[in-house]
Amino acid sequence: MIRRSLLALALLAGASPALAQNAAQFVPRYDFHMGADHLSGDDARFVWDANFGGDIDFVDYGRGRMTFAANYEAMLGEQLRRFDPNQGKYLLDLSMSLRGRGVEVAALFHHTSRHLSDRFKRDPVDWNMFGARIGRDVRRGGMLFQARGDVLGTLLKSNVDYNWEANGDVHVRLPVRPHVSGIAAATLRLVGVDGTRNRGTQSGERVEAGVRLEGTAGAIELIVAGERRIDAYPLDFSPMSWFSAGFRFVSR
């Protein structure tokens, strides 16, 4: 499975120069974000959820692009101190895509690893997946609609029971005044499991809405959200739900 995955990426990489017809652009786009949400509930492990990351198009070869994305998530509680980072999660994605008729299809390699902070954890918690991504962006005047879906199969895993994952998300931005937009997003995640934990397919979702304030070099997004998260704590195989309010600084 790993060899087939690497071969698929290599074939797509080899095809890219031919598709580009000498029109490749290097690092034509990058986006970064940094934000934090304050969570509802009375579990002292889950008070703040902070994220920092971004994605970069290494090269755009006309008919598609090679993109790298990374995110670090820190969950803060109040068990040991007022702001107590108790876990961190690293996400890495590498994709290569082809565009056609307004749709972009990509081969995607995905890695997630989860860690505890200031707490003992001997065994790793991580997984690697490979699969496909399909996405479409639609602009009508100042309105932006973005939809994306992934289907992934597990290559390697440590101390999780995940066999496959299917997820999809939709983002909408609608201008209401100059430099001010309303924003909304919805995400659905399904994870198939191998049966070793005596549970079936897991589902998680997040719905958010807010306002986006645009500046000359970036934007601030103020949001409220509701979320059901699969396996919220790295060592617990159980979901958790909460409401949240927070902010994001994003590049334009």
CATH number, position 90: 2.40.160.40
Task: Give the pLDDT of residue 206.
Answer: 98
Beta bridge partners of 17: none
Question: DSSP assignment, residue 142?
Answer: T
Query: Could you give the dihedral angle defined by the CA atoms of residues 154, 157, 161 and 163, in that order, rounded to the nearest 10 degrees?
Result: 10
**What's the chain's average pLDDT?**
92
Residues ≥6 apart with Cβ < 8 Å to 30: 54, 55, 56, 57, 251
Name the band, by pLDDT with cuts 50, 70 and 90, for residue 227: very high
For the cut 90, the answer to whether the pLDDT of residue 23 exceeds it is: no
Q: Which two tokens stand for residue 133?
A: 């991504």
Region 149-170: mean pLDDT is 98
Question: What residue has token string 């993109």?
Answer: 67
pLDDT digit string (tens) for 55-66?
Answer: 999 999 999 999
| Nearest C-alpha neighbor of 3 from the set 164, 156, 167 | 156
Q: Which two tokens stand for residue 124?
A: 């790793």
Q: Give the residue, 17 or 210, on which the prediction is more confident.
A: 210
pLDDT digit string (tens) for 29-41?
Answer: 999 999 999 999 9
Task: Give the pLDDT of residue 25.
Answer: 94
Task: Give the pLDDT of residue 246.
Answer: 98
Per the CB < 8 A criterion, the answer to whether 240 and 226 are in contact is: no
For the cut 90, the answer to whether the pLDDT of residue 141 exceeds it is: no
Burial of residue 252, with CB atoms counted within 10 A of its CB: 0-12 exposed, 13-18 middle, 19 or more buried? exposed
**Prediction pTM value:** 0.89
Q: CA–CA separation, 70 vs 77, rounded Å? A: 23
Q: CA–CA separation, 174 vs 172, rounded Å? A: 7
Give the count of beta carbons closer than 10 Å to the beta carbon of residue 75. 23
For the cut 70, the answer to whether the pLDDT of residue 220 exceeds it is: yes
- As for how many domains the chain has, the answer is 1
Q: Which two tokens stand for residue 40?
A: 């509802």
Domain that holds residue 148: 2-251
Task: Give the pLDDT of residue 102.
Answer: 92
Task: Give the pLDDT of residue 233.
Answer: 95
Q: CA–CA separation, 237 vs 185, rounded Å? A: 26
DSSP reduced 3-state for 101: coil
For the cut 70, the answer to whether the pLDDT of residue 18 exceeds it is: no
